[in-house]
Amino acid sequence: MTFRAAGIESHPDLAELRSRYELAAEQPTAQALDGLTILSGLYLAVSPWILGLARFPGTGDLRVNNLITGLAVAVMAMGLAAAFGRTHGVAWTVPVLGVWTIIAPWVVSGATPKGGTIVSNVIIGALILLLGLGAMALPTRQRRTVNERR
């Protein structure tokens, strides 16, 4: 007689948790957060070209950083929008990328970046931070709403 351990994927609590996260992701608030996060990431990726490369002189590294970080934020937001039940565990990376966006002009460029660069990165970084924190809070908000209905 051999005993075979059941995988965690078949645990009933995990299935309930995933379904609760999927319900949270279907709410209009969650969809708005995901859409705004995607747009914020795309803006960050193209911000050097929107603001004009003249505001990013000698900061080629910052241009590349904004491109890569912006695309990472957009891809993370798309993953959260498409399958929140499976990707909620990495939602914490979006606020971290927001903080990185805020401090990147000083860390990456080394020299004092121009004012437009700083303002753009700080504003979009704060927005990404707040949107990411909102995405992380979605399951707890959904749980409170379900408990209030009972």
pTM listed for this prediction: 0.76
What torsion do the CA atoms of 139, 142, 147, 150 make, to the nearest 10 degrees?
A: -140
3-state helix, strand, coil in the chain (%, to 5): 85, 0, 15
* pLDDT band of 75, cuts 50, 70, 90: very high
Q: Would you list the domain boundaries of the chain?
A: 34-149
**Minimum mean pLDDT among 36-40, 53-57, 135-139, 140-144: which range?**
140-144
- Is 137 exposed, middle or buried (CB count within 10 Å of its CB: 0-12, 13-18, 19+)? middle
Query: So what's the pLDDT on residue 138?
Result: 75
pLDDT at 128 over 70: yes
Percentage of the residues of the chain whose pLDDT score is greater than 90: 34
What mean pLDDT comes out for the span 121-135? 94
